[in-house]
Structure 1
Amino acid sequence: MPFAAPGVFRVRPLPREATASYAQRLADTYQLTLPQLLDGSGITLHRHGTPPTAELILTPGAARRLAVLARTALPQLTCALPHLPLSDTAHDTEAAANWKRLDAGQQPVRACTLCTRHRSHNATDTAWIHPPPHQLVCPRHHQAAPDPRLTSTVHTRDVPELAAAHHAHQRLLRHPRAATAWITARAITTRWYDHQQHLTHRWHTRLTQLRATNPHVTTTGSASPALLTRGLITYPETVALARVLTTLPSGHHHTTNGALTLIARRLALAHLAPSANDPLRVFLTHTRH
């Protein structure tokens, strides 16, 4: 089978983009369907699917053909597409693509529509990505998609603390304990949110603001807006809490009450007195000792 010829257009992948999303954007640029694009590149497509509930799994031979068509070096493409295989085995010539269904926790979310259009020669504004936590919000275009069930992005311009939290999160990443602090903080704020504790009024106000400018969050399947936007609503406080956790001294060099006072101040709370089984108190009194 002849090898794929380099394409006319160079479509830049988005960071951590789903392979199916990138291939579809490439097809949109050439005004082709995805099966037509793959067939023209000598890639055999098996089964059916569509993002975000399914991913396109390419063999190494198919990945090389896609890279040639995209006019992008395979290592560079692999860095951007986390599910794309990287293989230097020249004799692995099978070029096939298989649709694979994804569990809810593995599904990508919508990318910023303006960033997508900029990287798609204005052919489409739809892309699906697997963003790391510190890229939840696009600070340039004020868009976010905290849940794969949202088929449209959430516009966040009217909630400026989300962009501020994004920039604070970038500063947090410089700390060596940033990753563990983030995981802990997210678990704590998620528990608070689900049990309506400590920050309920603030989070309800933020949810109301987001719903006012994003009516589609109320019509997305059977999931409630409160659940679909949970990660976004709690984001500023999660970042703030994570930053505090990185500054607390280890071991017995702090008191629980002193830490709670500091955390309350950073969260702009007049008072913070969690119960004995609250995850924050458990962390401060047991996990860190």
Structure 2
Amino acid sequence: MLRVRPLPFEATASCVQRLATAYRLTLPQLLHGAGITLHGHGTLPPAELHLNHNAARHLAVLARTPLPHLTRAPPHLPHNDTARSTEAAAHWKRLEAEQQPVRACTLCTRHRSHGATGTAWVHRPAHRLVCPRHHQAAPDPRLTTTLHTLAVPELTDAHHAHQRLLRHPRATTAWTTARAITTRWYDHQQHLTHRWHTRLTKLIADSPHLATTSSASPALLARDLVTYPETVALARTLAVLPNQPHRTTDDALSLIAHRLELPSLASNANDPLRAFLTHTRH
């Protein structure tokens, strides 16, 4: 019996598909052989597979992984003991765009699949945007192949800085705010446009498929990755700013400009950072 270890935050359908690949079966064949009734049709990344408790137990036996260990990885496996008397069942469910998984690092996937496949999909949290060991990333579900990040070493530095940010009690709020601000800057070509364009050019040079994905422009597909170092730097600064709006706005802008390695942050009243520092922070 084969053992296929789930990746952290791996989509349930991805974990099941990797297990099926290891047994040289299709996903429906694997579930049928395991006594799990499959309802509906779907495929990753626009749909996810939801298993009830009995189906998860069957999957744990096949994967040779204790159920508590298995449910810590795929986020759509049940964590409780409800519905023990029901049939083992799996259901395909459509996902909204913001809920869809992205491609996992191919080398991490091969390692956990005993070389059987390099394809996996993960519901990646923000602090797992980059694989620092293998220099890969997939910032958007529409990318069916990971991007190479070795030519942009600041992405790995940002990854490690993000892990340090997580220790701060205001990390979640600071990250959400920083990401909204840098996304606005990126979309409106403010402050860091030249730096971000240079970074995007390097990513395309290392991953030409980024420019040939027909579903969206490279600038949109790679936006979270391109802005990542500055988003982390901004979030780390916002997390430690004192809660004193109005009086320290200009000082805060000067500090943030320094952290972003900018001579200054010339902004008007409508700039999202100034608006946050002046009116929102409390």
Same fold (TM over 0.5): yes
Q: Quote the residue 2:143 is aligned against.
A: 150
Which residue in 2 is equivalent to 1:96? 89
- The question of 1:141 aligning with 2:134 is answered yes
Give the partner amino acid of 1:230.
R
Instruction: After TM superposition, give the deviation of residue 93 of structure 1 in Å.
Output: 3.5
2:232 and 2:256 mapped to 1: Cα distance? Answer: 12
SS at match of 2:72: helix
What residue number does 2:179 align with? Answer: 186
**Which blocks of at least 5 consecutive residues in structure 1 are unaligned?**
1-7
8 Å CA contact retained: 1:248, 1:254: no
Secondary structure at 1:121 match in 2: coil
Q: Is the Cα–Cα contact under 8 Å of residues 60 and 92 in structure 1 kept in the other structure? A: no
1:112 corresponds to: 105
| CA–CA separation in structure 1 for the residues paired with 2:80 and 2:279 | 46
Q: Offset of 1:251 from its aligned partner?
A: 2.2
Calculate the TM-score normalised by the size of structure 2: 0.97
Residue 11, structure 1, aligned to residue 4, structure 2:
yes
Which residue of structure 2 lines up, in the alignment, with residue 79 of structure 1?
72
Normalising to structure 1: TM-score of the pair?
Answer: 0.95
Cα RMSD between the aligned structures? 1.3
Structure 2 counterpart of 1:124, one-letter code = T
Tell me, yes or no, if structure 1 residue 276 matches structure 2 residue 269: yes
Distance in 1 of aligned mates of 2:49 and 2:186: 35
Deviations 1:144-169 (A, max 9, x none): 00000000001000000000000010
Identity of aligned pairs, percent?
75
| Aligned with residue 61 of structure 2, among 40, 63, 68 | 68
Which is worse superposed, 58-67 or 188-197?
Answer: 58-67
> Equivalent residue for 2:278?
285
- Distance in 1 of aligned mates of 2:265 and 2:84: 63
Q: Kindly provide the amino acid, as one letter, of the partner of residue 7 in structure 2.
A: L
Any residues of structure 2 matched to 1:175-214 within 5 Å, and which? Answer: 175-214=168-207
Whether the 8 Å CA contact 2:52–2:83 is kept in 1: the answer is: no
Per-residue Cα deviation, 1:26-72 (whole angstroms, up to 9, x for no partner): 01111111111111101111222111111111122111111111111
Provide the residue aligned with 1:4 in structure 2. none
Structure 1: distance between partners of 2:280 and 2:245:
11
State the secondary structure of the residue aligned to 1:206: helix
Query: What secondary structure, in the 3-state scheme, does the structure 2 residue paired with 1:105 have?
Result: helix
What SS does the corresponding residue of 1:98 show, helix, strand or coil?
Answer: strand
Aligned partners of 2:245 and 2:278 also within 8 Å: no
1:284 partner amino acid: L
Contact preservation (8 Å) 1:60, 1:94? no
SS in 2 for 1:80: coil
Letter of the 2:173 counterpart: T
Rounded Cα–Cα distance in structure 1 between residues aligned with 2:281 and 2:52: 46
Moved over 4 A (4+): none
CA distances 1:211-264 after superposition (whole Å, capped 9, x unpaired): 111111112123000000000000000000011111211125951111111101
Q: 1:195 to 1:90 in 2, by over 3 A?
A: closer
CA contact (8 A) 2:53 2:83 kept: no
**Aligned partner (choices 130, 155, 159) of residue 123 of structure 2:** 130
| Structure 2: distance between partners of 1:91 and 1:235 | 44
Q: How many residues align?
A: 282
Offset, 1:75: 1.6
Query: In structure 2, what is the equivalent of residue 251 of structure 1?
Result: 244
Deviation of residue 89 (structure 1)? 4.3
One of 20, 23, 29 as aligned partner of 2:13: 20
What 5-or-longer segments of structure 2 have no aligned partner? none
CA contact (8 A) 2:102 2:140 kept: yes
